[in-house]
Amino acid sequence: MKFTNSEKLHQEALQHIVGGVNSPSRAYKAVGGGSPVYMERGQGAYFWDVDDNKYIDYLAAYGPIITGHAHPHIAKAIAHAATTGVLYGTPTRLENEFAQMLKEAIPSLEKVRFNNSGTEAVMTTIRVARAYTGRTKIIKFAGCYHGHFDAVLVEAGSGPSTLGTPDSAGVPTSTASDVITVPFNDIGAFKVALDKWGDEVAAVLVEPIVGNFGIVEPFKGFLQEVNELTHRAGALVIYDEVITAFRFTYGSAQQIYGVEPDMTAMGKIIGGGLPIGAYGGRKDIMEQVAPLGPAYQAGTMSGNPASMAAGIACLEVLKEEGVYEELDRLGKRLEEGIHEKAREHGIHITVNRLCGALTVYFGVDQITNYAEADASDGEAFAKFFQLMLREGINLAPSKYEAWFLTTEHKDSDIENTIDAVERSFAEMAKT
């Protein structure tokens, strides 16, 4: 397999775009460096790079592309928006339609507001929670990524309930010191944090199913306890469902576990591949937001007709019967196949899977929190990634990311992927 054109484009990109990429996770830094693969076109479960190599896509653009590339129903909706105007700066009928669709799918959303990215959505929920409670501190779980705004770029995994230190240059220590980080799935550490800082805490920010150190489910009862303890402390529960909304069911993770947060942030899938964010929740809390309340949030592009149309079309596809059952069936087959090949070749792995999303961790027995994911073998993953790429299987270039299936993956894609896994494991077993 040749990557000549990708390499050329990357050299060019390095002259003009910082680091050659517009989001650092696209760089191949964690998988041995080199040029990332430049894609040219996509169709269904496949995309083709600028050297005309074909890949089965498990990146799914880090989650949003759950219906595959260029889905005809979504393409039609976007094309219609393109010919009737993509931005008016006025309200439109589509915003009402989409808001109602989201509310029907996720009952805790009494009121919603659209914006343009997951980062924006989570950022605003924190502002609103602070406005509502009159408090400042937030609790988040170690290793959970919530976007690139200051308050959540706080180092994770530094022991139970420590006050945060910034994870990025340029984040003021004063901002980071308002963030308390606790290990996921550790209710004891969470209680310690609340005992110490509970009356200063505005909100607890939770990925109900973690997607950012691989797919990690909450222990039984964990989310319920977090809810109960948070409310007892007078703070709000915010669910970051940027990855999880419409990923595992038509609705959100909160419905899978039967818990309701006070506010929810979303993004990714709900935009059908176009830029989007949305947040919503209890009416009395959401009414803190301008123009009704004192918490300001705005956006020139927010609720734009193209994103609305793509989002509605995407949910229409996902609402069809059997979509998530099929994702689960294919996900299960893929998981079994990977395990089978790992056993055959003596490769030590753990697979965490829920429905059509999974993570393969190397050299570890279980992953329930960030520290365990962090301890997985990054070198083995890097090798696996590079071998799979050359097999025409595109994974996210990080040991912490998930493989995402789409509605367009077929049995034959899964079988071809398992064959590629077999050859990659065989190669890895040689060293």
Binding site for ligand PMP (CB under 6 A): 62, 117-119, 122, 145-147, 207, 211-212, 240, 242-243, 267
Q: Considering the complex, what minimum distance in angstroms separates the CB of residue 423 from ligand PMP?
A: 30
Q: Could you tell me the smallest distance in angstroms from the CB atom of residue 268 to ligand PMP?
A: 6
**Half-sphere exposure (Cβ direction) of 53: Cα atoms closer than 13 Å:** 21
Measured at the CA of 47, the angle between CA 1 and CA 332, to 5 degrees, comes to: 100
Nearer to ligand PMP, 30 or 347 (CB): 30
Contacts of 176 (CB under 8 A, 6+ apart): 150, 151, 153, 154, 163, 164, 165, 166, 167
Rounded to the nearest whole angstrom, what is the least distance from the CB of residue 411 to ligand PMP in the complex? 29
Alpha carbon distance 114, 303 (integer Å): 5
φ, ψ of residue 3 to 5 degrees: the values are -125, 25
Residue nearest to ligand PMP (CB): 118
Candidate list 145, 279, 361, 400, residue with the active-site label: 145
CB nearer to ligand PMP: give 122 or 223: 122
- Distance between CA atoms of residues 267 and 158, nearest Å: 28
CB of 248 to ligand PMP, least distance (A): 14
Closest CA to 146 of 118, 110, 124: 118
Neighbours of 430 (CB within 10 A): 6
Provide DSSP, 83-121: HH-S--SS--HHHHHHHHHHHHH-TT-SEEEEES-HHHH
Quick one: 6 or 115, whose CB is closer to ligand PMP?
A: 115
122, 129, 124, 128: which is closest to 144 by C-alpha? 122
Q: Is 240 a residue of the active site? A: yes
Answer yes or no: 419 catalytic.
no
Cβ neighbourhood burial of 378 (10 Å; 0-12, 13-18, 19+): middle
Instruction: Select 94 or 215, whichever has its Cβ closest to ligand PMP.
Output: 215
- In order of 64, 136, 335, 381, 383, the CA distances from 415 in angstroms are 24, 51, 11, 21, 21
Question: What is the side-by-side order of every strand in the sheet holding 39-43?
Answer: 39-43, 46-49, 54-57, 393-394
Nearer to ligand PMP, 69 or 146 (CB): 146
Contact 422, 340 (CB under 8 A): no
**Taking a C-beta distance cutoff of 8 angstroms, is the pair 371, 361 a contact?**
no
d(Cα 35, Cα 18) in Å, to the nearest integer?
Answer: 14
Helix, strand, or coil here: 50? coil
413 is catalytic: no
Determine the length of the chain: 431
Q: Is 353 helix (H, G, I), strand (E, B) or coil?
A: strand
Closest contact distance (angstroms) between CB of 24 and ligand PMP is 11
Output the smallest distance, CB 194 to ligand PMP, in A. 22
Among residues 137, 140, 268, 399, the one annotated as catalytic is 268
Q: In 3D, which of 86, 157, 139, 108 has the Cα closest to residue 300? A: 86
Q: Active-site residue among 49, 57, 240, 413? A: 240
Query: What Rg, from alpha-carbon coordinates, does the chain have?
Result: 21
Q: How far is the CB of 21 from ligand PMP (least distance, A)?
A: 14
Q: For ligand PMP, which is the closer residue by CB, 63 or 198?
A: 63
Least CB distance to ligand PMP at residue 420 (A): 26
Question: Mind telling me the catalytic residues?
Answer: 145, 240, 268
